[in-house]
Amino acid sequence: MYLSTTLSEVPWLLASDVVADAVEDLIATLGETTATPYFIYRLRDAMLSDTTGRRILRDRPRMTSKTIDVARLQQLPENTVGRAFVGWLEREGIEQDSRDNVRYIDDEECAYVMQRYRECHDFYHALTGLPVFVEGEVALKAFEFANTLLPMTGLSLFAVLRMKAAQRRRFWNTYLPWAVTNGVKSKEIINIYWEEQLERDVDELRAELGIETPPDLRETRRRLREERKAAQEKENMGEQRQK
């Protein structure tokens, strides 16, 4: 069900969410209210101008545990889109039905476009390999903003302020340039009919879309932890020799 809203009702909606301490719901509400009136129509028009996008709008598939058989995806060959997706879900501990339903976009077709974007978000994670902790999520949101222009994805960049200094440098120097370059040059990711791509080689799909994967963030952080640990052990050994 989609609830009609006016501009004057937006502050009340945001206030009620804050009072209820429903942070995830607040984020979803912000995503919907900031997408209208222009940005969600632009995304809808991008789908209408694309053959696959039009089919998605006609079929209106949903990404839920009822429509995506995770057990079947686990049996697919290595490096397929489906295996990459289910592997990412398992690695990050994400449940498939964790996306809220759209409530505050009046136009039914545009509401579906927002729902489709929301339900495909985890596929964008799997496609890029980015994890769900803040550093990875912000990098993906920057990519999404460059590709979709949805305001909430751009507003998410304020989360950079939550990062440690080293993480901020890594974001500005590596992941933001990657996000902007790939988000701008790649095809509109909203037009991917993921349900038809599950058995396809994931690298082949990336090449077709024009998306290069960023440096593995989990591996980078693991390597840096090991380097710090080795440096600390070396320092401790030096102190022991001096005693």
DSSP 103-127: -S--SHHHHHHHHHHHHHHHHHHHH
Q: Which of 152, 126, 133, 129 is nearest to 141 (CA)?
A: 152
Q: Is 69 annotated as a binding residue?
A: no
pLDDT at 1: 43
What amino acid is encoded at 73 in this protein? L
Helix (H) or strand (E) holding 177: helix 176-185
Q: Is 125 annotated as a binding residue?
A: yes
pLDDT at 213: 96
Q: Which of 183, 35, 10 is nearest to 116 (CA)?
A: 35
pLDDT at 106: 85
pLDDT at 6: 54
Given a cut of 50, the residues of the chain with pLDDT beneath it are 1-4, 12-21
Give just the sign of the alpha carbon dihedral 232, 236, 237, 239: positive
139 touches 130 (CB < 8 A): yes
Burial 96-112 (b: 16+ CB within 10 A, else e): beebeebbbbeeeebbb
pLDDT at 35: 76
pLDDT at 172: 97
Domain chopping of the chain, boundaries:
7-242
- Read off φ and ψ for residue 201, nearest 5 degrees: -65, 125
Q: Is 122 annotated as a binding residue?
A: yes
pLDDT at 142: 97
pLDDT at 24: 62
pLDDT at 203: 97
pLDDT at 189: 97
Q: Is 121 annotated as a binding residue?
A: yes
DSSP class of residue 1 equals -
pLDDT at 21: 43
47 touches 54 (CB < 8 A): yes
Q: Which of 114, 107, 109, 117 is nearest to 57 (CA)?
A: 109
